[in-house]
Chains A and B, each alone.
Chain A
Amino acid sequence: SYILTQPPSVSVAPGQTAKIPCRGANIGFKSVHWYQQRPGQAPLLVVYNDRQRPSGIPDRISGSSSQNLATLTVIRAEDGDGADYYCQVWDSDSENVIFGGGTSLT
């Protein structure tokens, strides 16, 4: 079945830029979505269809995707950005929603 691979953690200094990778075979041909999850809370959609943001999500957060890599970028990182981030796609071959293992942004 389709696999999405994320690093367990990414560190960023306040004010700097964080890049969270999500690797999957030919992920550039799929619609990639990203979620932010703070402790004790439900996931929150922050990017959908590779690079679109739901209303209310700051433009400091952006997404990109090509070939075998999708990336969530957080610029001017703030303390409040510390959370777990998950990538997600629909795999039409297995007819299954696939999540990455999640990355803790600290």
Chain B
Amino acid sequence: QVQLQQWGAGLLKPSETLSLTCAVYGGTFSDHYWNWVRQTPGKGLEWIGEIRHTGATKYAPALKRRVVMSIDLFMKQFSLRLTSVTAADSGVYYCALGETHYQLESWGQGTLVSVTS
């Protein structure tokens, strides 16, 4: 059973960079797709993107200009950076384990991010 534990700064000012990390416990790191999803009052659940153990990424078209994902195979962690945040980026951010058909089988506990001046 794979478990995900995430952390990162929860309070940001406009134009700052959001940075979150997710650690993976159990399972085989190379067998899955590692995703970030957010839940905002304005847009509900929104996929941000995924990264594979090879470092290959896919990003949501609406966010790809501001998103960078990275992976640390040794530490079994993956990270999200979202630049130039605004209030519209406020919400709960989740890391999640994805499978072949993009189903998200396991989720982190979520991190509440608030962007305010």
Contacts and interface: CB of A to CB of B under 8 A. Distances in A.
Interface of A: 1, 31, 33, 35, 42-45, 48-49, 54, 86, 88-90, 94-99, 101-102
Q: Is the interface of A mostly helix, strand, loop or mixed?
A: strand
A84 to B, nearest CB: 9
Interface string B53-86: 0000010110000000000000000000000000
B108 interface: yes
Interface size class of B (residues with CB under 8 A): 20 to 34
Interface of B: 35, 37, 44-47, 58, 60-61, 94, 99, 101-105, 107-110
Contacts of B108: 42
A61 B35 CA distance: 25
A86 B103 CA distance: 12
8 contacts: A31-B101, A42-B109, A48-B99, A88-B102, A94-B61, A95-B61, A97-B37, A97-B47
